[in-house]
A and B are shown apart, each in its own frame.
Chain A
Amino acid sequence: MKRWFLFLVAFGIFSLFAIKGFSLTADEVMKKAYHVQNYLADDERVHVEMKIIDSQGRTRNRVITMLRKDMDNEDKEQKYFVYFMEPPDVEGMTYMVWKHIGRDDDRWLYLPALDLVRRIAASDKRSSFVGSDFVYEDISGRNIDEDVHELVDETDTQYIVKCTPKKPDLVEFSYFKVYVDKKTFIPMKKEYFDKNGKLYRKLEVLESKEIQGFPTITKGQAVNLETGGRTEITFSNVEYNIGIPDDVFTERYLRRPPRKWLK
Chain B
Amino acid sequence: MYNRFFKKLIRFSLDRPWMIIGLLLLAVVGAVFQYPKMKVDTDPENMLREDEFVRVFHHQVKKEFGLYDFVVLGVVNEEDPNGVFNVETLNKIYHITEGIKKIDGVITREIIAPSTKDNIRQGQIGEVIFEWLMAGPIKTKEEALRIRDEAMDNPLFYGTMVSEDGKAICIYVPIKAKNISYKVSQQIKKIISKYPGKEKYYITGLPVAEDTFGVEMFKQMAISAPLAAIIIFTLMFIFFRSFQLILSPMIMAIATVLITMGLLIGLGYPVHIMSSMIPIFLMPIAVLNSVHILSEFFDKYQKIKDKKETVLAVMDELFVPMLYASFTTIVGFFSLSFSPIPPVQVFGVFVAIGVFISWLLSLTFIPAYISLMPDSRLTNFGSRETEEAKGFLKWVGMLSFQQKYVVILAAVGLTIVSILGIMRIKVNDNPVKWFTKKHEIRIADEVLNRHFGGTYIAYLVLDAGKKDAFIEPDMLNYISGLQEFLQKKGIVGKSSSLADVVKKIYYDLLGGDKRYFRIPSSKQGVAQCLISFENSHKPDDLWHFTNPDYTKLNVWIQLKRGDNQDMSRVIKAVDEYFKAHKPPMNFTYNWAGLTYINMVWQDKMVIGMLKNFLGSYVIVLFMMIYLFRSSIRAWISMLPLTITILFIYGLLGWTGKEYNMPVAVLSALTLGLSIDFAIHFMQRARAMYGRLGNWQEVLIGMFGSPARAIGRNALVIAIGFLPLLAAPLVPYKTVGFFMFAIMAASSVITLLLLPAIIAVFPSMVFEDRETPIFCSLAERLLLAFSIAFAVGYLLMGYLHFGLQRTVFVSILIAVGVFLFEQIISFGRWCREA
Complex contact B129–A54 (CB within 8 A) = no
A127 in contact with B531 given A89-B471, A90-B524 (CB within 8 Å): no
Residue B547 CB within 8 A of the other chain: yes
Complex contact B535–A128 (CB within 8 A) = yes
Residue B776 CB within 8 A of the other chain: no
B526: A residues at CB distance < 8 A: 89
A93: B residues at CB distance < 8 A: 528, 531
B789: A residues at CB distance < 8 A: none
Complex contact B127–A118 (CB within 8 A) = yes
Complex contact B523–A130 (CB within 8 A) = no
Complexed CA–CA distance, A120 and B120 (Å): 10
User: Separation in Å of the B97 CB from the closest CB of chain A?
Assistant: 12
User: Separation in Å of the B138 CB from the closest CB of chain A?
Assistant: 12
A114: B residues at CB distance < 8 A: 506, 509-510, 520, 525, 528-529
Nearest CB in chain B to that of A198: its residue: B108
A226: B residues at CB distance < 8 A: 108-109
Residue B81 CB within 8 A of the other chain: no
Complex contact B535–A130 (CB within 8 A) = yes
Contact of A117 among B108, B124, B126, B136 (CB under 8 A): B126
Complexed CA–CA distance, A84 and B534 (Å): 14
Which residues 89-148 of B have a CB within 8 angstroms of A? 101-102, 108-109, 118, 123-124, 126-132, 135-136
Contact of A128 among B64, B135, B524, B536 (CB under 8 A): B536
A90 in contact with B535 given A60-B548, A113-B524 (CB within 8 Å): no
Looking at A117, A119, A127, A169, the one whose CB has the most chain B CB atoms below 10 A away is A127
Contact of B548 among A58, A116, A119, A130 (CB under 8 A): A58
User: Separation in Å of the A138 CB from the closest CB of chain B?
Assistant: 13
Complex contact B129–A128 (CB within 8 A) = no
Complex contact A113–B527 (CB within 8 A) = yes
User: Separation in Å of the B505 CB from the closest CB of chain A?
Assistant: 10
Looking at A117, A131, A227, A229, the one whose CB has the most chain B CB atoms below 10 A away is A131
Complex contact A113–B528 (CB within 8 A) = yes
Looking at B123, B526, B548, the one whose CB has the most chain A CB atoms below 10 A away is B548
Complex contact A227–B537 (CB within 8 A) = no
Interface of A is mostly: mixed
Q: Residue-by-residue, is B532-544 near A (CB-CB < 8 Å gives 1, otherwise 0)?
A: 1011111110110
Residue A248 CB within 8 A of the other chain: no
B510: A residues at CB distance < 8 A: 114, 116
User: Separation in Å of the B300 CB from the closest CB of chain A?
Assistant: 74
Which residues 122-162 of A have a CB within 8 angstroms of B? 122-124, 126-131, 136
Complexed CA–CA distance, A126 and B534 (Å): 12
Looking at B123, B520, B539, the one whose CB has the most chain A CB atoms below 10 A away is B539
Residue B468 CB within 8 A of the other chain: yes
Complexed CA–CA distance, A119 and B547 (Å): 28
Contact of B130 among A117, A127, A131, A227 (CB under 8 A): A127
Q: Residue-by-residue, is A37-71 near B (CB-CB < 8 Å gives 1, otherwise 0)?
A: 00000000000000000101011100000000000
Nearest CB in chain B to that of A119: its residue: B127
B543: A residues at CB distance < 8 A: 54
Residue B305 CB within 8 A of the other chain: no
Residue A109 CB within 8 A of the other chain: yes
Complex contact A116–B127 (CB within 8 A) = no
Complex contact B539–A128 (CB within 8 A) = yes
Residue B771 CB within 8 A of the other chain: no
Nearest CB in chain B to that of A111: its residue: B528
Complex contact B128–A119 (CB within 8 A) = yes
Complex contact B123–A127 (CB within 8 A) = no
A129: B residues at CB distance < 8 A: 535
Residue A8 CB within 8 A of the other chain: no
Contact of B64 among A56, A84, A229 (CB under 8 A): A56
Complexed CA–CA distance, A160 and B522 (Å): 50
Residue A73 CB within 8 A of the other chain: no
A54 in contact with B527 given A127-B118, A226-B109 (CB within 8 Å): no
Residue A243 CB within 8 A of the other chain: no
Complexed CA–CA distance, A105 and B126 (Å): 16
Contact of A90 among B531, B540, B547 (CB under 8 A): B531
Residue B39 CB within 8 A of the other chain: no
Complex contact B520–A113 (CB within 8 A) = yes
Complex contact B531–A118 (CB within 8 A) = no
A131 in contact with B534 given A89-B523, A121-B123 (CB within 8 Å): yes
Complexed CA–CA distance, A136 and B535 (Å): 8
Contact of B136 among A113, A136, A169 (CB under 8 A): A169
User: Separation in Å of the A248 CB from the closest CB of chain B?
Assistant: 21
B522: A residues at CB distance < 8 A: 113
A109: B residues at CB distance < 8 A: 532, 535
User: Separation in Å of the B416 CB from the closest CB of chain A?
Assistant: 59
Q: Residue-by-residue, is B471-498 near A (CB-CB < 8 Å gives 1, otherwise 0)?
A: 1000000000000000000000000000
A90: B residues at CB distance < 8 A: 524, 527-528, 531
A120 in contact with B128 given A111-B509, A131-B534, A169-B136 (CB within 8 Å): yes
Nearest CB in chain B to that of A116: its residue: B509
Complexed CA–CA distance, A138 and B529 (Å): 23
Which residues 81-106 of A have a CB within 8 angstroms of B? 84, 87, 89-90, 93
Q: A58-B547, A111-B528, A126-B537 are in contact. List 12 more A-B contacts (CB 8 A).
A: A89-B523, A89-B526, A112-B528, A114-B509, A118-B126, A118-B128, A118-B509, A119-B124, A121-B127, A121-B131, A128-B535, A130-B531
Closest 8 CB pairs of A and B: A131-B534, A89-B527, A123-B131, A113-B524, A113-B525, A119-B127, A111-B528, A131-B539
- Write the residues of chain B forming the contact surface with A, with a CB cutoff of 8 angstroms: 63-64, 101-102, 108-109, 118, 123-124, 126-132, 135-136, 468, 471, 506, 509-510, 520, 522-529, 531-532, 534-540, 542-543, 547-549
- Write the residues of chain A forming the contact surface with B, with a CB cutoff of 8 angstroms: 54, 56, 58-60, 84, 87, 89-90, 93, 109, 111-114, 116-124, 126-131, 136, 169, 195-196, 226-227, 229
Q: List 7 A-B contacts (CB under 8 A).
A: A58-B548, A111-B528, A113-B524, A116-B509, A121-B131, A129-B535, A131-B542
